[in-house]
């Protein structure tokens, strides 16, 4: 079973692999610590994206990233197709954009908390989530651009302009023609009789 999963993942296009890998990194970043330090009572606390003031934002980010992953992996492993092909890239780009904006909003909330409470600090987990979401946004935008380009090419593609593969004429390669014969020697003419 793991060999089949690896083969299926390797069969994906490179942009698709990077997009889903970045979405997975963004999802893992929600589980990592986002803020830690000493709280009001002097106790040491550490919160991930699911705790503290950013719990709703972290939950929304994780749900959006899971949806991006499910759009790709459900059809690959025999499940239902969640989105039609013509909507897939647009919806994934919008989910990645919303997820990136929510992580930036969570970062601004945490920065505000660190200004109010001097012993609290923003830690690396939110940056992992931010980088994963930003890369997912970038590659979903690239996939969306490719989809738009292919739609335009389909619009202007005329099947009658091209001959099918089985009707193409065989091209016969002929050897090059021999070089021309050398030029004759010039004749001598007298100018005065």
High-pLDDT (> 70) share of the chain, %: 91
Whether residue 4 is predicted with pLDDT greater than 80 in this model: the reply is no
Q: How far apart are CA 158 and CA 155, in angstroms?
A: 8
For the chain, give the mean pLDDT: 84
Q: Are 139 and 15 in contact (CB under 8 A)?
A: yes
**Mean pLDDT of the 41-70 span:** 88
Q: What is the assigned CATH class of domain 14-155?
A: mainly alpha
Q: In degrees rounded to 5, what are phi and psi of residue 122? A: -80, 130
What pLDDT, on the 0 to 100 scale, is given for residue 180?
A: 87
Q: How far apart are CA 115 and CA 109, in angstroms?
A: 10
The answer for residues whose C-beta is within 8 angstroms of residue 118's C-beta and 6 or more apart is none
Q: What residues pair up with 35 in beta bridges, in sequence order?
A: 47, 122
Q: How far apart are CA 66 and CA 70, in angstroms?
A: 6
- Tell me, yes or no, if the pTM score tops 0.85: no
Bridging pattern class, strands 120-122 and 33-38: antiparallel
Whether residue 55 is predicted with pLDDT greater than 90 in this model: the reply is no
Q: In degrees rounded to 5, what are phi and psi of residue 14? A: -60, -45
High-pLDDT (> 90) share of the chain, %: 31
What pLDDT, on the 0 to 100 scale, is given for residue 160?
A: 63
Residue-wise pLDDT tens digits, 126-166: 999 999 999 999 999 998 898 888 888 877 776 666 655 55
Q: Which helix (H) or strand (E) element contains residue 35? A: strand 33-38
């Amino acid at each position: 079973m793991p060999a089949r999963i690896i083969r299926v993942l390797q069969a994906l296009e490179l942009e698709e692999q990077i997009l889903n890998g970045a979405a997975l990194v963004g999802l893992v970043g929600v589980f990592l610590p986002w803020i830690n330090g000493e709280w009001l009572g002097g106790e040491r606390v550490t919160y991930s994206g699911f705790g503290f003031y950013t719990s709703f934002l972290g939950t929304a980010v994780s749900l959006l990233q899971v949806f991006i992953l499910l759009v790709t992996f459900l059809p690959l492993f025999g499940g239902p197709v969640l989105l039609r092909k013509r909507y897939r890239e647009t919806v994934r780009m919008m989910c990645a954009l919303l997820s990136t904006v929510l992580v930036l909003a969570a970062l601004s909330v945490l920065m505000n908390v660190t200004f109010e409470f001097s012993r609290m600090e923003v830690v690396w987990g939110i940056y992992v989530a931010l980088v994963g979401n930003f890369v997912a946004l970038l590659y979903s935008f690239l996939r969306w651009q490719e989809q738009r380009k292919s739609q335009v090419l389909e619009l202007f593609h005329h099947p009658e302009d091209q001959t099918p593969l089985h009707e193409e004429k065989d091209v016969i390669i002929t050897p090059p023609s021999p070089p021309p014969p050398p030029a004759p020697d010039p004749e001598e003419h007298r100018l005065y009789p």
